[in-house]
Structures are given as structure tokens and as C-alpha cells.
Structure 1
Amino acid sequence: HHLTGETVMVALSSVNLLSLASLARQKHPACQIVLAADRDLSGDGQKKAAAAADACEGVVALPPVFGDWNDAFTQYGGEATRKAIYDAIRPPAESPFDTMSEAEFSAMSTSEKAMRIYEHYGEALAVDANGQLLSRYENGVWKVLPPQDFARDVAGLFQRLRAPFSSGKVASVVDTLKLIIPQQEAPSRRLIGFRNGVLDTQNGTFHPHSPSHWMRTLCDVDFTPPVDGETLETHAPAFWRWLDRAAGGRAEKRDVILAALFMVLANRYDWQLFLEVTGPGGSGKSIMAEIATLLAGEDNATSATIETLESPRERAALTGFSLIRLPDQEKWSGDGAGLKAITGGDAVSVDPKYRDAYSTHIPAVILAVNNNPMRFTDRSGGVSRRRVIIHFPEQIAPQERDPQLKDKITRELAVIVRHLMQKFSDPMLARSLLQSQQNSDEALNIKRDADPTFDFIGYLETLPQTSGMYMGNASIIPRNYRKYLYHAYLAYMEANGYRNVLSLKMFGLGLPVMLKEYGLNYEKRHTKQGIQTNLTLKEESYGDWLPKCDDPATT
């Protein structure tokens, strides 16, 4: 009453809200009835208000904060709260295309036509920083509009008025519209979107949706505070069984898997990491991908091949997604230039069919799921700095597999989200866990199995000074496997039947990077006999692959 001057009736309890609403309609049959309801985190207040509004043919006005209208008044003051009340009950604006005539529309300039289209969409359009991709705000999220679909929709508006048009006219209006509407901003990395609002991970506060949050993705669950004593073991048993089995019962491995899922949930593409889950068939890898998809939202995830990441033409299919799954890519081998650029936060070229090429960022987490790890030819460290390998070693017996596991985990999703948010209230803890996994013994062993050169580096150890093996070259005859590092590498490759050896130059360039992954520092000095290093062979080299002393090539 203080804010609006209108007649106010107060329901002292939600129990009598329905009867009070009916009574108000009987007393005031011709008046508009507004239910100034509570916005509850559980959604209970909204549901009861909606039921009461149906009973009295009224409208519901929800405060711009979680709580009641008094909370909004306390937080924002009288004037802002008054405006929020009237904004909440204002009927949706009519589309100008419902009232305009063909003559009026045809007489307009291109910019005026673009403005009418903007009004038709409720002024809920924005364009990306490159001025190319249009997005529309719907249900708390800015969704990318496929260019061809939007052009057809605009053509449909022309047809509604029976106004003449051509593809050129439609394109001109759309291009002009992009110059008028707001430019889309990057969403704050501290905000995580849910169906019922956004969570600020810095201070733990929860807010209703707003276009100004610029959210591009939402987690497809409602967020509610954790209940007392809530644990994964007791409140998400299906998820816990999968997690514990995938981690081999190891607490530290469980934490790494949870950190990877949090990275997907929070869409932390800005960590410049990508996830690769490996393991035999039936080890739970596909469930990992399914859970990640649930956390990102079905509409926000897509499957691709690594060739898609490498091709400007095919990258067009990846825009607008927050999770990119790469299933069964172990047979692929390459330098991963596109993968490095996307995960490194670089702008990449996109060349869609029938449109001009442009550059854009693809803000997505990449999750590869393979029986065997991918093979990268990159030796610069660009891939290894970003790659997080998580191995699921145990193959679950067919009789132990639960065909309903995904459905069971889906029903537990709210508990999983709450646990992830609580466990990683400091997101940098999750990032630290993933970075520690990069050079874990498990990850190193997986990379050794996939890359023979990397495996050879595992047979080296460092000395305190540069008094170890010389680098050598392929022209030194006879070969001396214990003196020359490159000779030892050639011997390892030959002993294991590998044909594609690195040249001396490529071996020398990749050596410091690969040693760093093992936690070793490479040092060298120039002498009259060549480059001498601080490296020597480990004892196991002699039994595993190094030629015996009676080998005529060994001196």
C-alpha cells in the first residue's frame, strides 16, 4: 500500500491464500488482482501463488530477489521496488506486426524495420562481439539463433503483413538489426546458472535470472541448499557406486573425477584444460560423458570428432555449446592445432557454408572419451599443458552392469550439483586437482603406452651436472648406445618395432618438454665432442631394450 497506494489484503499464512484470493474476486469482480508472492528457493511460494492466481483470474508478481517483497524493499529501496512491482504485472507488449499495415511497414526505412523486428522479439536480442551471431534471451539464458532459421523467421514477418521481400531485403534488415541491438557481454565466471536462478560462487548468494547476467548455459536442475547430513553415499547411491568403482576405491582419484565434473558444471573453459577419459570398454567412461552432459544441459552439449575442431568449415557446428564430447578418437593422430587454439582461449576461424568467414571464441569444455589415448605429434608442450588424462582401469563384468544407471543418476542430479558446489566452493581447488592429475603416475603411464618417444624418455634420469650422455647424431658409426642419447633412442625404437622415428632436430626440440612432464630439468653444454647433457639411462634400460654388450654395434 505504501508503494502503490492500492488496496491491499494480507494472507497471514499460505494456507489461506487460496481462499483469500477467491474472496477478493467475489468482493471486487471487476478489479485486477495482483498476488505479491514470495520467491522461494524451493519454488513452493511460486506454486501456491500460481494456484491462487488461477482461482481468482489474477496475476502473480514475484520480487526480484529470493524472499518476499519486504526483502526487495530492504535491499533495493522504495523506488526500485515500486518499479519492480509494476514491471512484474505489466502485460506482455504486443508485437508491432499485430497492428501495423503493409503500407506502414513498406514505407519504413531499413533501420525502422529492424527496430520493429527488435520490438517483436521483446527487445530480447543481442549480437556477439564479432557482430555475427544473434542470440535471444529465453528462460534465463542467451541462446544462439541459427542464421538461416532467423532469416526465415524475419521473412515470415514480411509475409504476415503481405509485404514484398527478397533474400537481399531480409539480409539487409538482419544486418542492420545487428548494428542496433546490444552487444553480448561475456558471462561472469563466478556465476553458475540453474533453472531457478544463478549462483554466485564467490559469496554463495543465489539470484533470480536476469538478462544482464549474460548466461549462455544453464544446469538443467533447480538449485536448493544442501540438507543436513546430506552425502553422496546416502543421498546419491547410484552415482556414488559408479564414482567409487571408476576411482578404484581411491579417495584422491574420486576427487579428480569430481573436479572434472565441476569443470563441466561451471563451464570453466577458461582454465585452458581439456579432459580425456580412457579405459577398456565397460569401465564407466560413457557414464562419465552422460553425467557431464546432464551437468552442462542436454541442449548445451554436442558430439564431434577432433577433425571438427581442426576444420574451419566444420567448426561452425560447435558455436553455442558449452560441452563438446569427442567419442572414440584414439585412432586419430596429429598435432591438435585446433584443439590447442580452442582450449587455449584463442579466437579460431569459422567458415560456415553460404556465409562470410569470421573469427570467434568457442567457450566450451572439451571431453574426449576413448578406449586408448589419442596420439599427438605436437612436441612443443602446447597439448601436454592442457591435457588431463583420467583412466578408468576396471572393466565391469556384464552381469554387474546396470542398464538403468543413467536414469538413476539423473534423478540424483540435484544432490550431485549441491555436493560439487559445496566441495569446490573455491573453484581453484578443482583446477589444482586437475593440474596435479596431469603429471600423475597414472597419466604418465597412459601417455607412455600411447607415445613411444615419451616412453623412451621415461628410461632417463638426471645427474647433478652436465656429465652425462652426449646427444650424438645418426652419422656416428659405430653406434654407441650408452654414450650417445640419440643412438639409445634409435635402439629403443628398433627393439620395440617402431618405424616412425623422430629426426635428431625434432628429438632435441621435444626432449626438454617431455622431461618436464616427468618432473626433470634438462641441462646441456657444448664440448669439443659435441653437446653433453645431464641425462643417463636408468638401470631397467639394460634389461628392457638396450642391446647386450656382445652386440657388435655396441662399444
Structure 2
Amino acid sequence: MKINEITAQAVGKWDYIFQSLGIEVGNGKHCPCPVCGGKDRFRFDNQNGRGTYICNQCGSGDGLELIKNYYQCDAKEASNKVAECLNLSNQNNQIRANLAFRKIDSEPLHNDNIPDNPVCKKVEYLLSKATLGQSQYLTKKGLTFDLPLLDNGRIFVPMLNLHNEYAGGQFIELDGSKHLMRGSNKKSAFILVCSVLSRPTEVYANLLAHNEIIICEGLTTGISITEFRHPSMVISAIDAGNLIHVAKSIRELNSTAKIIIAGDNDIDQSPNTGLAKAIEAAQAVNGYYSIPDIDYKCDWDDYRQQFGSDNALTHFNKNLIKPELPTVTKLNMQTELSSMNLSQMASSQRAELLNQYYDNNLAINLTTDEIYHYQDNAWQPISDKLLMRTLADLFTQSGEPFNPLRISSAVESLRLSLPIMGTPQKDLICFKNGVYELKSQTFRPHNKQDWLLVSNDIDYYPAKENESFDTHAPNFAKWLKRASGNQDKAKNILAALYMILANRHDWQLFLEVTGAGGSGKSVFAEIATMLSGKNNTVIGTMDALEKARDRALIVGYSLVILPDQPRYMSSGAGLKAITGGDEVAIDPKHKQPYSCKIPAVVLVINNEAMRFNERNGGISRRRVIFHFGEVIPEKERDLNLVSKIEQELPLIVRLLLNEFTSPAEAKERLHQ
């Protein structure tokens, strides 16, 4: 492809491109320049989605210019890198046969069961038989757009969902007639309107990164919109009834994007279906809608053909409306209950009602068979008893009798119908006011599709200039100085606290703090608890780690503290398995046993180091010991030290993240 064609495809996607190339551009605020390194000289303003930037030292340019300067290469090489990020390479004719769900080392699948899905296999097969080309059906409408074409010239476009899999496909014949591939699951599925075929994982990443997403009904309408609304990511919901389902799915994935519903004007119908469904979808996601304001049936492709792309853009923007949001509260549900007949509902209908009560924020963990509720910015287990009591309350509010069998059957139906929980995103720290991404060192809003299980109680704010522990966190600095005794050990202690803050259980280490009473061990444990979050911390024993029944008590926590362990003489097999990232047996009371990994940091607090009779080096490789040798005299102890440090906690967090901009540095220190 030509350079200008590649840059045209890159419009609106530069956030994703820079992230893929490892170029740090900040979040629209001043930050260090990725080229010259000048502090606070650089700002990524991304005007018109072209990746534009300004640096007081280097000057300004667009996204391609930044890549040229960053890699010190010419425009051709820079455009090739962009093409690789967008999967534009080697796609001029034959679609790659391995496009669908072939595992590669650098891109693990999110769902290992995908290859066994017959719908996915069929879509993959059809794509392998297709070539990218222009359809006569579209060229007659004045649209030149590459799409997968089968041998007979008909279009085949894959439908995707947000589980990183194909949900089916749509055929468009030469005469424009459309039908879905047999076995397609249309609800919440969509078609990406793009002339470059992308893997579902890449589409997922693009949806997560885009600032403006337009959802339309048909594919042809979407192609027309891409003609005049270049920076936006456009997807087709296939029909009007699916607009709301697709919009909700996108909003769950990307909580900050501007979502626009590009509806059809079905003025010949009463009611106007296209308008009604567009408004409904926009209200559901706090978004916008736009339909052609004209006195006959018309979609945006019809409008473009009649008035041209420039006029279509002007009209689209002029008719962009944000509808008023309906007030949806528990009180509304109580009012509606009076008109419902819960006793006559099927158990699946009662299950759906229960899910609506929880704002559709429920999901199922297939490993534990537990239902989780997204609240307080994290997914938390919710007991069957609480769900049953909630449904019983709904029966009572409706004035109807109930029996336990109907209640329990609804909860079981709920378990079968809920979405499956995904794998928690790595390299994220969930704060009270948002999520910090360790790789990009950026802060963004919460997103329940991160599938995070824990959230601390700290508000995060960017560090200010010249902040330091000594000046701005004097109580923490005083404790650190007395506990460490020297600067190198102090840095190692900070690395341990960073490990707890970032929940780096994947480092396959455990922390052990020893020392006499009054040496600062308990303060370390208190600080660790603050960083992890009190609700995410559990107290245990070494013996508990060895037993499947007792291990059930530590599932779901990010920090396990083992305080004041009695003299321990064993192999530490349970500790070794947990910290090594192995699956361990869990045997909860009154539930089916299962096995899982426990993603928690283990912290041992003892007067003296534990002894193990394991001789294979498994414990010694994982063990990080800190000995606090100085006992603080009684008269010098500050009984309010912990509460004072708690007041300094937001600043301590900022300084820890600044101290270890590279997590590998903290890990290396703990391995010393």
C-alpha cells in the first residue's frame, strides 16, 4: 500500500499504534518527549485523529513524523511499522488463512475453547476461501471498499463479539439481498466496517482504545459513514433491534468513548422503528444519535448518494443529539413489579429479572461456579443465599407468594445464563478513582471488562514536581530510615512495597520480615495492608496453606499475611505451590472441590526466620527476607505512627510508582 493510504487507515487509531510500538505519548497532558527525553516538553494533541504532537525541543508533526524521529528511519519504514500494527501488510489479495484463531507465541488466545467452536471454524474456512476486493453491489452505489469476496462475487463479512471470537457471518448477494450464515448468534454481535480484516483480539484492542465509536444498522450504511466521518471507528449492528445490545457491550468494554448511534429514518413506518431504536440505544449508553432529517425513508448511505459526502457530514453533525436519560431506579422496578406475575414466569425469566435488579452486573466464574457482582470497581463473589433473598424480596414487593424451589431454580437458571468472567487484566492497579496501567504508566477510568477482582481504597493523582518521601511523607520516611539502616536496604523495602501495591504475585516470590518486637515489623504489615486494601487482605497460617479446606479462606484476596508463626519445620509445599503460580486444591465447605491459582502476595511476619526441610531450592529461590535489627526504645515510639502514615498514603503510592517506572527494577532488587 502507498504511504498516504496507510496514514488514511491510521486516522483515529494512533493511540493504539503508539501503544503497540511502545512509544509513550501520555494522555493529552505534558509529559517527557519520547524522542529527545525532555521533561514536560511534549504533548500529544492528536488533532483530527492524525496523531499530531508538539515538543518544545523537537518541534511538531503528525503520527508518522513521530515514528520517523523515534526510530530514526524514513517515511517508508515508518509507514511499514504502522501497517504492521494495523495488519495492512500482505493483504492486498489473498486473506491470510491463519487470520482467525491460530495461536502464536506473542498473542495468546483469551479463550482456549475457541478452536472447538464450529461457528468459528466455519467463519475461518470461508475467510480462507475469500479474497479482498470490491463488490459490484457497492461500486454501483459509488463506494470503493475492499471486502472479503467469495468465488461467486458475493460478500462475506464476519460477525464478532467481545469474547474475542467470531459469532457468525453475513452474506450479501450481488443484488443486495442479505442473510446470515447458519448458526450465527446475532445478539450483541457486530461487523467491523474496515477494508482491512483484523483478528478479533485486534478489534477488541481497537474498541478499547478508540475515543469515538459509531454504531449503525447495515454494512453499506457503515461504509458510507467511513467516507465522510474518517476519524471514527464504525461498526454495523446488522439491524435496528441489535443496536442496543451492541451499544451496551461496547460501553461495558470502553467506559469513556463517545458512542454515536447512526440510525435509519423509517418515516414510512408507525412508529418510526429506526428513530425509536436509535434513541433507545443512545439512552442505554449515555451516548448520541443521528438520523437523516428528511421526509421520506432514508439511511445515511441514501443521503450520501443523493447529496454527497460533504453535505452528509454536515447533516450528520447538525443532527447529532444526546437524548435525555430515563430515570431508572430500584423504585421504578418496585412500581413495575405490581404489574408483573412472577409466579407465572419461567425460571429463566425470573433469573433475568434478578440480573436486572443488579443492573446486569453479574457474571459467572466457571472455575469455582460462583456468581460475581461488579461493585465498588471490582468483581466480588455474591452468595446464592443473598441472591435468593433478593428474589424473595421481589416476590414480596409484588404481593405474590413464593416457595423456595422457585427461588432456587431461578438462581440456577441465572448461573446458566450469565456471561462468563474473563481473565483479570495484568499490569493494572485498581484505585478508587480509576485504573493505573503499569506498562504505559497512564491512568484511565474503571472498566468492568478488566475483570479485576480487587480494588484498593486509595485515590490516585499524578506526582507533583519535586515530591519526595523526606519532604512530603516525613512519617513514612522516618520509619523507613529506622527500619532499613541504610539507603540500599531502604530501596529494597520500597521494592517489596511496590510488589504488594502492584500485586506482583507473578514474580514467584514471598516476603518474610523478621526482627524483635518494636523493630517496625508490624508497621510494615500495616503499610502493606493499606497498599493492598483492607478488604483485599487476609490473615492466615503456614499450616492453612497446606490444607485444601483451609486454603478456601484465602481465595479472592490479593495479600495473605502470616503473622507470628510458631516455630515451623516443614517443606512448605503449599507456600511453594501458591507463590510458584501452580494450581492448588480448594475444598470449600458445602461446595464442590476445585483447583485454581491463588493470585496473592504472601507476607510472613516473624521474630525469627522460619526453617524449612525442603532441600531442592524451591523455597530459597522464592524467599525474600528483611531483618529489622534496630529495636525502637519505648520512649521514642509514636503510638499514632500508623495513622499518620495512612494520611500520607496517596503520596507514598505516587512516589512508589515514580521510583519504579520499570517493574523489572523492583523485581531485580528483590532477587538480590
TM-score by length of 2: 0.52
What's the counterpart of residue 105 of structure 1?
342
Q: Does 1:234 align with 2:471?
A: yes
1:315 touches 1:350 (CA, 8 Å); kept in 2? yes
Structure 1 segment 329-348 matched on structure 2, within 5 A: 329-348=565-584
2:583 counterpart letter in structure 1: A
Task: Between the two structures, name the one with larger relative contact order (CA 8 Å, sep ≥ 6).
Answer: 1
What's the counterpart of residue 489 of structure 2?
253
Instruction: Provide closer, same or farther for how the CA distance between residues 236 and 390 of structure 1 changes in structure 2, counting only shifts above 3 A.
Output: same
Q: Structure 2: how far apart are the matches of 1:123 and 1:188?
A: 21
1:371 counterpart letter in structure 2: N
What's the counterpart of residue 541 of structure 2?
305
Q: Does 1:427 align with 2:655?
A: no
1:406 counterpart letter in structure 2: V
Instruction: Provide closer, same or farther for how the CA distance between residues 40 and 416 of structure 1 changes in structure 2, counting only shifts above 3 A.
Output: farther
2:337 touches 2:397 (CA, 8 Å); kept in 1? no
Task: String of CA shifts for 1:249-279, please: whole Å, max 9, x gaps.
Answer: x111111111111111001111111111111
Q: Structure 2: how far apart are the matches of 1:424 and 1:385?
A: 22
Tell me the secondary structure at the aligned position of residue 531 of structure 2: helix
Tell me the secondary structure at the aligned position of residue 421 of structure 2: coil
Structure 1 segment 66-105 matched on structure 2, within 5 A: 76-77=211-212, 79=214, 81-83=258-260, 86=283, 87-88=285-286, 90-91=325-326, 93-94=328-329, 96=333, 98-101=335-338, 104-105=341-342
Task: String of CA shifts for 1:17-74, please: whole Å, max 9, x gaps.
Answer: xxxxxxxxxxxxxxxxxxxxxx999xxxxxxxxxxxxxxxxxxxxxxxxx99x99999
2:368 touches 2:594 (CA, 8 Å); kept in 1? no
Q: Structure 2: how far apart are the matches of 1:417 and 1:71?
A: 35
2:456 touches 2:536 (CA, 8 Å); kept in 1? no
What's the counterpart of residue 180 of structure 1?
417
How big is the shift at 1:352?
1.8
How big is the shift at 1:381?
2.3
Tell me the secondary structure at the aligned position of residue 513 of structure 2: strand
Q: Structure 1: how far apart are the matches of 2:456 and 2:482?
A: 25
Task: String of CA shifts for 1:111-142, please: whole Å, max 9, x gaps.
Answer: 22211111111010112241512221113211
Query: How many residues in Structure 1 have an aligned counterpart in Structure 2?
Result: 371
1:339 counterpart letter in structure 2: L
Instruction: Provide closer, same or farther for how the CA distance between residues 156 and 387 of structure 1 changes in structure 2, counting only shifts above 3 A.
Output: farther
How big is the shift at 1:102?
8.7
1:392 counterpart letter in structure 2: F
How big is the shift at 1:382?
2.3
Q: Structure 1: how far apart are the matches of 2:491 and 2:566?
A: 25
How big is the shift at 1:168?
4.5
What's the counterpart of residue 441 of structure 2?
204
How big is the shift at 1:146?
3.7
1:238 touches 1:409 (CA, 8 Å); kept in 2? yes
Task: String of CA shifts for 1:80-114, please: whole Å, max 9, x gaps.
Answer: 52549853463464455652359722222222221
Identity of aligned residues (%): 42
What's the counterpart of residue 279 of structure 1?
515
What's the counterpart of residue 509 of structure 1?
none
Instruction: Provide closer, same or farther for how the CA distance between residues 349 and 245 of structure 1 changes in structure 2, counting only shifts above 3 A.
Output: same
Task: String of CA shifts for 1:461-483, please: whole Å, max 9, x gaps.
Answer: xxxxxxxxxxxxxxxxxxxxxxx
Q: Structure 2: how far apart are the matches of 1:382 and 1:82?
A: 51
Q: Structure 2: how far apart are the matches of 1:40 and 1:296?
A: 29
What's the counterpart of residue 153 of structure 1?
390
Q: Structure 2: how far apart are the matches of 1:153 and 1:130?
A: 25
Q: Does 1:193 align with 2:430?
A: yes
Q: Structure 2: how far apart are the matches of 1:73 and 1:181?
A: 40
How big is the shift at 1:78?
6.8
Instruction: Provide closer, same or farther for how the CA distance between residues 129 and 354 of structure 1 changes in structure 2, counting only shifts above 3 A.
Output: closer
2:346 counterpart letter in structure 1: S
Q: Structure 2: how far apart are the matches of 1:347 and 1:162?
A: 48
Tell me the secondary structure at the aligned position of residue 562 of structure 2: strand
1:296 counterpart letter in structure 2: S
Q: Structure 2: how far apart are the matches of 1:233 and 1:266?
A: 23
How big is the shift at 1:343?
1.4
Task: String of CA shifts for 1:472-504, please: whole Å, max 9, x gaps.
Answer: xxxxxxxxxxxxxxxxxxxxxxxxxxxxxxxxx
Instruction: Provide closer, same or farther for how the CA distance between residues 71 and 188 of structure 1 changes in structure 2, counting only shifts above 3 A.
Output: farther
2:338 touches 2:397 (CA, 8 Å); kept in 1? no
Q: Structure 2: how far apart are the matches of 1:431 and 1:168?
A: 53
Q: Structure 2: how far apart are the matches of 1:423 and 1:238?
A: 18
Q: Structure 2: how far apart are the matches of 1:187 and 1:364?
A: 13
**Structure 2: where are the runs of 5+ without partners?**
1-26, 30-43, 52-209, 215-256, 262-281, 287-323
Task: String of CA shifts for 1:284-338, please: whole Å, max 9, x gaps.
Answer: 0000000001001111111111222222222222122111111111423322222
What's the counterpart of residue 358 of structure 2?
121
Range with bigger deviation, 340-349 or 96-105:
96-105
Q: Structure 1: how far apart are the matches of 2:352 and 2:513?
A: 48
Q: Structure 2: how far apart are the matches of 1:131 and 1:179?
A: 14
Task: String of CA shifts for 1:418-437, please: whole Å, max 9, x gaps.
Answer: 1111111111111111111x
Q: Which has the larger radius of gyration?
A: 1
Q: Structure 1: how far apart are the matches of 2:599 and 2:582?
A: 10
What's the counterpart of residue 559 of structure 2?
323
1:370 counterpart letter in structure 2: N
Instruction: Provide closer, same or farther for how the CA distance between residues 90 and 276 of structure 1 changes in structure 2, counting only shifts above 3 A.
Output: farther
What RMSD over aligned residues (CA atoms) do the two structures have, in Å? 2.9
Instruction: Provide closer, same or farther for how the CA distance between residues 169 and 335 of structure 1 changes in structure 2, counting only shifts above 3 A.
Output: farther
1:397 maps to which of 633, 652, 670: 633
Structure 1 segment 426-445 matched on structure 2, within 5 A: 426-436=662-672
What's the counterpart of residue 524 of structure 1?
none
Q: Structure 2: how far apart are the matches of 1:129 and 1:432?
A: 36
1:379 maps to which of 604, 610, 615: 615
1:110 touches 1:176 (CA, 8 Å); kept in 2? yes
Tell me the secondary structure at the aligned position of residue 459 of structure 2: coil
2:647 maps to which of 402, 406, 411: 411
1:308 touches 1:314 (CA, 8 Å); kept in 2? yes
